[in-house]
A and B are shown apart, each in its own frame.
Chain A
Amino acid sequence: MILRAVLSHYRRHPLQLLALWLILTLATALWSGVWSLTGQARDSMTAGDSQLSGRQQVVRSDGAPVTVADFASLRRHGLCVFPWLQVATDDARGQVVGIDPLAMACSRGAATGSGFSMDGQPFVDIAEAAERAASGHSATLRLYVTKGDASLPEGWQRQGDPGGLSTGELSDSFLLNLDALGLLVVLVSALLIRSVYTLGLAQRRESLGLLERYGVTRRRLRLHLLLELMVLAALGVVPGYLLGQGLADVLAGGFGAALGNLFETDLLATGESLTGFLVTLVMMILVVLWCGLDLLRGNAGRTRSKAHPVMGAVLILAGMVLVVPAQSLVTVFLGTGLVLAGAGLMTPALLGWCLSPSPHMPPLKLWRRRELGVLAGRLALPLVALQLAAGTVIAVHALVSTFEGTFHEWLDQRLAGDVFVEVPEGKPLAPAATWLESQDGVAQWHPVLRGAAGLGMNGENRQVDLMATDTTSTLIRQWSLLASVSQPWQALADGDVLVNEQLARRQDLKPGSQLTLVIADKERVVEVVGVYADYGRPAGEVLVDTRHLPDGFVSGFRSLTIDLADGSGGVSRSDLVAGLEAAWQVGSLQVRDNETIHRLATRIFDQTFALTRSISYLTLLLAGVALLMTGWVVLRSRAWYFGLLSAWGLTHRQRRQTITMLTAEFMVAIWVAALPVGIALTWVLVDRINPVAFGWTLPMAIYPGYWLELLLLFGLAAVVVGWLASSGRTEAPVQAPRLDGGQER
């Protein structure tokens, strides 16, 4: 009976019930969607990563070839290391690979069949391969560990990824940003649910008070309200979850396809299981409890939240103090959370203050300002939610645009040249060089050597990666440097060095800095003449000219980047590979087609960008819908006063203009408030999270053109709402229903 009385409110306001249910459902959809997308993206990336490089070669730091004794010593060190003995076959073009199934048993990820199914080489037991090697066939022994294994003992290092094109770190950066976005989505939607709910409660205050006067105890009333909310939430969770999954599947479809293409395998396990649902459920329960907390504390339906501008400012300051010098991600996230919370607390009051009228304003303008103050107070929660959502959209757009530009440029630089060939272990460059020189179809080529170097800094010796190449080559001269002295390429050719961004940041190196470079135990003091971007690799790297390498230098990895001549004179790829194989007398070469890699890498990231954008837009949409719904309720409650304008002689058009102005000013104010949030979030994403997590940063850019687009969107929403609010039978205030609460300010 009481329940029926409690619920009777919704019989008169079915739209409100629908709105509450809708917002619960949409929020659930967004949570489960984001959760599932992030999960899928992470799975895909991890799967791709292990497919591409589930194993990693380890080499001696001194560059000497590894021996069976080394294998044994690494094993004793507790590493899951396994040998790979490559032995030439009798016809000198083929080879067999000896592996040790027993040794590989310790590695879960890289099982015999899948992890090593490369090059179509026959695998044999290592004992058999060793026999062949003993009988005079040329052989190379390599040692592998699974990626992510424990640290290596002194004197050992992991072989760098050939050519440095690991997209893993970029992916990690994006996953991290996706996680941050997910957190924000939860925050924003929780705010929205609460705002729609409290607004509804405010309207029911009178009827609830009536029930109380009829003798229903306050406790029972609250219990019923809580029950009602929980039932509604339960009704929203299931369809919301399903909607979110559907959404994620649609969005992720292309993403999985692109990744699958790159790694030639099915990667996406669709149909996120129970965990996703449980997480969504738990979040919903938390939010419902948050709403219910007010009920239990007995200030149900108090819409006018007190302004806490001072508290907000304190939180923002505290957040800044945390974020600016932050060295860990947790601190960055925490600080950002504080800043956002502070912005949320401050905005309604700040808006009220900024929009406070001056005494000499024309009265009608003053009226608008005062009504704006009312709106800002009553719509504080959805306003802040929309502000944060718009800020997020701005930040995501800036990040993605910057990322896109930078990434493409970087990829272009790194994948210059048509073909990338790995120089077989132990083979000299000379035969290939001779053959390449003789080919008219080869426009230009240059070798790249990779190895290790020591960096003498303040008395300590630090290992970094070394890249050596012919620095007069056009293939590297087109790189755009992040910072440099005036003639970097000349200086480089003369023996100075370039460093990558990671190293520059870690060691605080700038163009002009001196450092002691130790290559093959020979020390040399060099000047840093420039810093280059290097998103693909975590390690610090020094770039030197090949001619300045000391004699004892042993490269860990050598490659050739070859540019084929255009048009009819060009040699075909297969001819090129065959020619090089013959020159080196090997059975098969590791050849990479730069264009394909470029295309695929671009596709992965395009898809990731699209994903991030969709999530931020969905959040914006949700926030927008919530603001429309709550705004609608508030505007309806002002209908009498809008009607007064008509009674006082404003024509229909004038009244419509005035009200539309009001809603427009409100939306523009939110837009303005969203800008600093957007810029701050962009800065955090670009300038804090990336350097802290990955050692490099992206140029910070803002996109005012996009802001204007967003403004247009906001303006459009304002016009629609203003039009709706000024329509209907508000023209005859005499007929307007009595107001809830009367003379509300």
Chain B
Amino acid sequence: MVTSVNVSGLSKSYNTGSGAVPVFLDLSFQLAAGESLALTGPSGSGKSTLLNILCGVEGVDDGSMQVLGRDGATLTADQWAGLRRRRVGVVFQDSNLMPAMTLEENVKLRADLAGRSFGPVRDWLARLGLAGLEQRYPDQVSGGQRQRAALAMVFAMGPDLVLADEPTGSLDRHTARDVADALFHWQRTQGCGLILATHDLALAERCDRRLDLAEGGQG
């Protein structure tokens, strides 16, 4: 089995004024290519922190990890940036779009950074139900539409791994399901890895596996 992500013995703590505060200790898990993993756990359990570590914007204290076949210990900051640019897509709870650009321009920017052509950009938007809204600015569409545009950006860059931090967290149930449908459909057809942090158990159920950080154990 080809692994997308391989983490073993990972420890992370934050240095605050009152000493080091551990977030997790000795965390290990694997993600196969084309597999989806739900990160769950109460607030403050370290879901976002783990996603940050996996895309290289946060360092670790101990342990090893491989992301898309690259050894996290040897990757420089610029090499991490290269990974994020072309192979690892990131989706946040909101504010995924540049506010001064239209939806279409946002998607084009993301595709351009990943070195992809603009050809399918409108297509992605249309498939996510955003046809006719391409020239709107983010503040001119609904929250669900914004998140779908954020997905369009990820789809347009064509990553091998997607890290999503509560992508439906600020949406109502119905809208959240639409967005999740689009995400899972695309992930399955592309055979791309997905790690999704969420409080929504229904959403977590839709993933192949689940890793509960409160328990700090294996998924």
Contact = CB atoms under 8 A, between A and B. Distances in A.
Interface of A: 362-364, 366-367, 370-371, 373-374, 640-641, 644, 646-654, 731-735, 739, 742-745
Nearest to A640: B95
A215 B98 CA distance: 36
A537 to B, nearest CB: 60
B97 A650 contact: no
25 contacts: A363-B108, A363-B113, A364-B109, A366-B105, A370-B101, A374-B99, A641-B98, A646-B57, A647-B55, A647-B84, A647-B92, A648-B85, A648-B90, A648-B109, A649-B81, A649-B84, A651-B78, A653-B78, A732-B58, A734-B57, A743-B94, A743-B95, A743-B146, A744-B139, A745-B138
B99 A731 contact: no
A745 B95 CA distance: 12
B5 interface: no
A655 to B, nearest CB: 9
Nearest to A359: B105
Given A648-B85, A649-B83, A734-B51, A363 B139 contact: no
B8 to A, nearest CB: 23
Nearest to B146: A743
Contacts of B77: 651-652
A733 B92 contact: yes
Interface string B52-84: 100101100000000000000000011001111
A743 B139 contact: yes
B96 A644 contact: yes
Interface of B: 48, 51-52, 55, 57-58, 77-78, 81-86, 90, 92, 94-101, 105, 108-114, 137-139, 146, 165
A362 B112 contact: yes
Contacts of A735: 48, 52
A743 B97 contact: yes
B57 A732 contact: yes
Nearest to A742: B95
Closest 8 CB pairs of A and B: A649-B85, A370-B100, A363-B109, A649-B84, A651-B81, A732-B57, A363-B112, A743-B139
Given A367-B101, A732-B58, A743-B97, A652 B81 contact: yes
Contacts of B146: 743
B100 A745 contact: yes
A744 B94 CA distance: 13
B42 to A, nearest CB: 17
Contacts of B95: 640-641, 644, 739, 742-743
Contacts of A739: 95
Given A732-B57, A732-B58, A745 B81 contact: no
B77 to A, nearest CB: 6
Contacts of A745: 99-100, 137-139
A431 to B, nearest CB: 88
Contacts of A366: 101, 105, 109
Q: Describe A's contact surface by its main secondary structure.
A: helix
Nearest to A641: B98
A650 B113 contact: yes
A744 B101 CA distance: 11
Which of A366, A644, A647, A649 is packed against the most chain B CB atoms within 10 Å?
A: A649
A647 B90 contact: yes
A666 to B, nearest CB: 14
A153 B91 CA distance: 91
Contact of B99 (A363, A733, A744): A744
Contacts of A640: 95
A249 B92 CA distance: 58
B63 to A, nearest CB: 19
Contact of A647 (B48, B57, B111, B114): B57
Contact of A363 (B92, B105, B165): B105
A370 B98 contact: yes
A371 B81 contact: no
Which of A641, A647, A650, A731 is packed against the most chain B CB atoms within 10 Å?
A: A647
Which of B51, B85, B99 is packed against the most chain A CB atoms within 10 Å?
A: B99
Contacts of B109: 363-364, 366-367, 648
B21 to A, nearest CB: 14
A641 B52 contact: no
A651 B85 CA distance: 9
Contacts of A371: 100
Given A366-B101, A373-B100, A734-B48, 17 more contacts: A363-B105, A363-B109, A364-B109, A367-B101, A371-B100, A646-B84, A647-B57, A649-B83, A650-B81, A650-B85, A731-B57, A734-B51, A734-B57, A734-B92, A735-B52, A742-B94, A743-B97
Nearest to B110: A648
Contacts of B96: 644
A374 B90 contact: no
A745 B141 CA distance: 13
Which of B57, B96, B114, B165 is packed against the most chain A CB atoms within 10 Å?
A: B57
A697 B100 CA distance: 49
B113 A649 contact: yes
B168 to A, nearest CB: 16
Contact of A649 (B52, B58, B82, B98): B82
Contacts of B108: 363
A362 B77 CA distance: 25
B157 to A, nearest CB: 8
A649 B74 CA distance: 18
Contacts of A363: 105, 108-109, 111-113
B98 A644 contact: yes
Contacts of A364: 109, 112-113
A646 B146 CA distance: 20
A735 B93 CA distance: 12
Contacts of A734: 48, 51-52, 57, 92, 165
B197 to A, nearest CB: 10
A490 to B, nearest CB: 71
B52 A732 contact: yes
A370 B86 CA distance: 24
A713 to B, nearest CB: 28
